[in-house]
């Protein structure tokens, strides 16, 4: 393997545990930020409902109050950001990384935004499930957005963005 693949795989082998540990160490910050942003988005999109959020280590408790009733939803938002350590490990292990630091930040931000969309839509679905008369109109579109956002945040963006940015590396040993 003289085309950089061996080096890449070795780097990936060591970098993924480090990135996972760093991501886990920042779990509290991620959960706090996602809770605040998601509550704000839901209040903006559903002004007839009142939202309040509390965070614990890896979970968010979102309470929603409407004229039809109230619901409490507990969600693990880190499930939606678990693509971040994969993305960071892949980007850092790629040989062209030095020229692509900005892509790392933009990609991380994109994954985080997709994760927040997933969290907001999951909250909407779960609260509609909890209270039958609460915001049923948005249940189906929210369920669809939830599936797409989770896929985008955890698989499509981490792998797709790395592949896009490192295409020269991948194509270098794949082409005849």
Angle between the N-to-C axes of helices 101-130 and 157-165, in degrees from 0 to 180, rounded to the nearest 10 = 160
Task: Count residues near other proteins (CB under 8 A).
Answer: 37
Question: 64 exposed, middle or buried (CB, 10 Å; 0-12, 13-18, 19+)?
Answer: buried
* Contact status: 79 vs other proteins (CB under 8 A): yes
* Contact status: 24 vs other proteins (CB under 8 A): yes
Q: How far is the CB of 130 from other proteins (least distance, A)?
A: 19
* Contact status: 90 vs other proteins (CB under 8 A): yes
Could you give the residue ranges of the DSSP H alpha helices within the chain? 5-25, 27-45, 78-81, 83-93, 101-130, 139-151, 157-165, 167-174
Q: Which is nearer to other proteins, 82 or 126 (CB)?
A: 82
Residues at the site binding other proteins, with contacts judged by CB under 8 A: 1, 3, 5, 8-9, 12, 16, 20, 24, 76, 78-79, 82, 85-86, 89-90, 147-148, 150-152, 154-156, 158-160, 163-164, 167, 170-171, 173-176
């Amino acid at each position: 393997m003289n085309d950089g693949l061996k080096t890449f795989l070795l780097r990936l082998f060591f970098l993924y545990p480090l990135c996972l540990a760093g991501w886990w160490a920042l779990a509290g910050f991620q959960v706090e930020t996602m809770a605040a942003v998601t509550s704000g988005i839901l209040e903006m999109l559903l002004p007839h409902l009142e939202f309040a959020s509390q965070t614990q280590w890896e979970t968010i408790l979102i309470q929603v109050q409407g004229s039809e009733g109230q619901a409490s939803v507990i969600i693990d938002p880190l499930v939606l950001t678990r693509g971040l350590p994969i993305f960071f490990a892949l980007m850092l292990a790629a040989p062209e990384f030095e020229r692509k630091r900005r892509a790392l930040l933009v990609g991380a931000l994109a994954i985080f935004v997709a994760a927040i969309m997933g969290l907001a839509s999951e909250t909407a679905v779960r609260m509609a499930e909890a209270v039958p008369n609460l915001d049923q109109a948005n249940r189906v579109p929210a369920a669809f957005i939830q599936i797409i956002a989770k896929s985008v945040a955890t698989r499509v963006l981490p792998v797709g963005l790395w592949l896009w940015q490192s295409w020269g590396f991948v194509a270098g040993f794949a082409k005849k």
